[in-house]
Amino acid sequence: MMARARRAAALIPAMAILSCLRTESWDPCVQVVPNISYQCMELNLYKIPDNIPVSTEMLDLSFNYLRHLGSHNFSRFPELQVLDLSRCEIKIIEDNTFQGLNHLSTLILTGNPIQSLAWGAFSGLSSLQKLVAVETNLVSLDDFPIGHLKTLKELNVAHNFIHSFKLPEYFSNLPNLEHLDLSNNKIQNIYYEDVKVLHQMPLLNLSLDLSLNPLEFIEPGTFKEIKLNGLTLRSNFNSSYVMKTCIQGLAGLKINRLVLGEFKNERKLQKFDRSCLEGLCNLTIEQFRIAYLNKFSRNDTDLFNCLANVSMISLLSIPLGSLQALLKDFRWQHLEMINCDFDKFPALELRSLKKFVFTDNKDVSSFTKTELPSLQYLDLKRNHLSFKTCCSHTDFGTTNLKHLDLSFNDVITLSSNFMGLEQLEHLDFQHSTLKQINAFSTFLSLRNLRYLDISYTNIRIVFHGIFTGLVSLQTLKMAGNSFQNNLLPDIFTELTNLTILDLSKCQLEQVSWTAFHSLPSLQVLNMSHNKLLSLDTFLYEPLHSLRILDCSFNRITASKEQELRSLPRNLTWLNLTQNEFACVCEHQSFLQWVKDQRQLLVGAEQMMCAEPLDVKDMPVLGFRNATCQMSKTIISVSVVTVLLVSVVGVLVYKFYFHLMLLAGCKKYGRGESTYDAFVIYSSQDEAWVRNELVKNLEEGVPPFQLCLHYRDFIPGVAIAANIIQEGFHKSRKVIVVVSQHFIQSRWCIFEYEIAQTWQFLSSRAGIIFIVLQKLEKSLLRQQVELYRLLNRNTYLEWEDSVLGRHVFWRRLRKALLAGKPRSPEGTADAETNPQEATTST
């Protein structure tokens, strides 16, 4: 029975949350939980849909038109536990309508204009615990056939037309009844006879709510010796006199919780004075709450005299202003002062007080030290309090404090190291401004602290030992603060028991690799609303117990493939929504991982691409891998094409002159040469060329025609073109004048390289080397090919002596005559000794 009740209680909020959903699975109803819960709200139904399965445990048929409920109307749903028939225009409920619903625990009939309710309407409801009949035109409890519902715990008949408080005798058959709501009816008077059943059969756990009834009179002695769990009388009295007499009529009542006052939007009392509560001295009260009395006199602190022995007192929106010398001898253990317009913090000296709640008093700006030696729970949130020195046992007059809430206040200066407050387990500073938190290990003595909230406290964390000493901490919330250099350092070293960590909105851009190494028990980590650029899963690898990770609202573009394997194994919930994902082929493995991990990723459908612009705001799940395959093919072809074109271009550029030479060879290959030799030399050696070479060869017998750049090159044509077209193409041979200046000249070397190509392409070409002076081998080796060529072939060496000149010119003429067409002028002087001069071929 209890298990089913708990299950029903869990299903009610589920249906409320999903009341706006629609699906086509079980048209026209919404399937909230398959085969268990169905929501058929506001579908203009005139009967129960036929396709609801018999296994249904929760059924919402509210806001339809089920005007007439016949016998056994719901018998085909034997497992039903919760049935909501709110505002279905029901006018008639016949006998045995709910017959067969042996497991039904909650029945809601709110807002139905019932005209005929048969005496056996609720028969068969052997497990019913909650019955709601608000706004059902009920006039009297006597006419309500519920006397057989022995399991009933809660009966709500508020907002009806009940004039009499008389509790029918069948209430003696409801031993489990805990809550009776008769609020907003028409009850004016309460007499002894009305509660006679309570005298005869006490319902010790019963709580009555009579709020918003126009009470005028309660007969004295009516509640004498009656014990109730709770009684609520709010917005019942139209004058202080009526309130006073009615409270006097409660004399002799023993009650656990009494609630008096008014509602925020339902004010009836024009004036309130201390005499109204005098009758409370005749009641035995454990807990007392009074709310929303505007005309409360600021001098009426003695009105609490009748409440000296209560254990708990709550004051809500009572304009007390201040409490002077309050109640030193009172035995209160729990005191709440909420929105009571205090001018200053009350100086309390209550030795028995264990719990003190002082909140929403906006005019209080400074804290006054108290003397509360038994205090364990202190809630001071949502005031305007400032602390110049906080916090130690001298501030609160206790060393037993376990819960301290100073959230939503002003400036709090942490300078006392919590001396004497070593028993603290819960500490909340959120939305207050903390100072001196980086000065030293502020929390060093709080080894028992389990909960710490310093969210939005305007601190910039610099000191790495800020959390030293918090060895028992389980929950740490520090959202909305900042870190030096926007880097999360290794500050959690001693927090080995931490299970929940909130680092959202901390402007984090980077995280130290060792930041989470000391958190083996961490289960929930919130990193949302930061500036992280990537999902560095290696950071979270040491978090073996991590189940929930929120990285939403960052600037994450992707994660590397190898990093995705480092997520904690126990992770079941990962939020990456509202990031700046780059949907490009470079991150193809990450985008595929997103598709494969839909069960892990919460809101995967809301993960959108941010770049490139052509796919901006497109779902990440919509990215197609085939696009990358096509792109790879196109890119590969393009790269190969570009490489080929580049290679060809480089080759053409490098061998451009060689190609020109090749073309010239084909053009001039069969024609007569204009010159006998093209002379390659350094301009530094031009004097020798003019005075020796030209004079001896062109003026000698036989004469040879030389091609010289200073004389024979055509003006206006590029030098390289002249070298090839005038020098090589129109000459039989090439004379290379090798000297130290030649080797150091780039143009000379260029001409020499072209000469080699020319020699290779032309079958009749020959290169004659003349070495002007002895060359250093180290200098010659700078031109490797030339060095090898001179070592491998015969060359002419210039010697400036009579014999040396004779031999030099004779050998050079021999070399130039080789291959020269015969002519009468040249035959007579030709001396034949082919071994005297050799050309390199």
Enumerate the H helices of 488-611 as residue ranges: 588-596
Residues 690 and 617 in one domain: no
- The pLDDT mean for the chain works out to 85
> Looking at the domain assignment, is residue 190 inside a domain?
yes
Cα(322)–Cα(379) distance, integer angstroms: 18
Query: pLDDT tens digits, residue range 187-241?
Result: 999 999 999 999 988 877 999 999 999 999 999 999 999 999 999 999 999 888 9
Q: What is the mean pLDDT of residues 73-98?
A: 96
Q: Are 401 and 421 within 8 A, CB to CB?
A: yes
Residues 718 and 622 in one domain: no
Cα(265)–Cα(235) distance, integer angstroms: 10
State the pLDDT at residue 18.
44
Sign of CA dihedral 696, 697, 700, 701: positive
Cα(164)–Cα(189) distance, integer angstroms: 7
Cα(242)–Cα(543) distance, integer angstroms: 65
Cα(3)–Cα(9) distance, integer angstroms: 10
Q: Are 81 and 11 within 8 A, CB to CB?
A: yes
Beta bridge partners of 263: 266
Residues 610 and 739 in one domain: no
Strands 403-405 and 411-414: unpaired
Q: Are 388 and 416 within 8 A, CB to CB?
A: no
Query: pLDDT tens digits, residue range 368-400?
Result: 888 899 999 999 999 999 998 899 999 999 999
Rg (CA), the chain: 52
**661 pLDDT more than 60:** no
Residues 688 and 797 in one domain: yes
Q: Which of these ranges, 23-27, 607-611, 798-802, has the smallest mean pLDDT?
A: 23-27
Cα(601)–Cα(699) distance, integer angstroms: 97
Residues 495 and 619 in one domain: yes
**756 pLDDT more than 80:** no
Convert 144-172 to b/e letters by CB count within 10 Å (16 or more is b).
bbbbbbebbbbbbbbbbebebbbbbebbe
State the pLDDT at residue 777.
61
- Look at residues 80, 82, 89, 42 and name the one whose alpha carbon lies nearest to residue 61: 42
> Looking at the domain assignment, is residue 144 inside a domain?
no
Residues 716 and 617 in one domain: no
Q: Are 344 and 368 within 8 A, CB to CB?
A: yes
> Looking at the domain assignment, is residue 553 inside a domain?
yes
Asked which of 260, 286, 308 is the last residue of a domain, the reply is: 308
Cα(54)–Cα(44) distance, integer angstroms: 22
Query: pLDDT tens digits, residue range 671-688?
Result: 577 888 888 888 888 888
CATH number of the domain that residue 769 is part of: 3.40.50.10140
Cα(178)–Cα(155) distance, integer angstroms: 8
The Cα-based distances of 664 to 648, 724, 784 in angstroms read 21, 8, 28
Q: How many CA atoms lie within 13 A of 765 on its CB side?
A: 24
State the pLDDT at residue 605.
92
> Looking at the domain assignment, is residue 359 inside a domain?
no
Asked which of 600, 628, 656 is the last residue of a domain, the reply is: 628
> Looking at the domain assignment, is residue 796 inside a domain?
yes
Task: Label residue 722 left, alpha or beta by phi (over 0 means left) and psi (-120 to 50 means alpha).
Answer: alpha
Backbone angles phi, psi at 637, to 5 degrees: -60, -40
Residues 598 and 690 in one domain: no
Asked which of 308, 324, 355 is the last residue of a domain, the reply is: 308
Neighbours of 537 (CB within 10 A): 19
The parent domain of residue 757 ranges over: 677-816
Residues 521 and 604 in one domain: yes
Q: Are 182 and 208 within 8 A, CB to CB?
A: yes
Residues 686 and 619 in one domain: no
> Looking at the domain assignment, is residue 327 inside a domain?
no
Residues 578 and 501 in one domain: yes
List all residues 6 or more positions away from 258 whose beta carbon is below 8 Å from its beta carbon: 230, 231, 280, 283, 285, 287, 288, 289
State the pLDDT at residue 838.
36
Q: What is the mean pLDDT of residues 816-829?
A: 60
> Looking at the domain assignment, is residue 157 inside a domain?
no
DSSP for 790-812, please give it: HHHS--EE---SHHHHHHHHHHH
Three-state SS for 284-316 is EEEEEEEECCCCCCCCCHHHHHHHCCCCEEEEE
Task: State the first-to-last Cα distance of the chain, in angstroms, to the nearest integer.
Answer: 115
Residues 492 and 577 in one domain: yes
Cα(473)–Cα(223) distance, integer angstroms: 50
Q: What is the mean pLDDT of residues 272-290?
A: 90
> Looking at the domain assignment, is residue 209 inside a domain?
yes
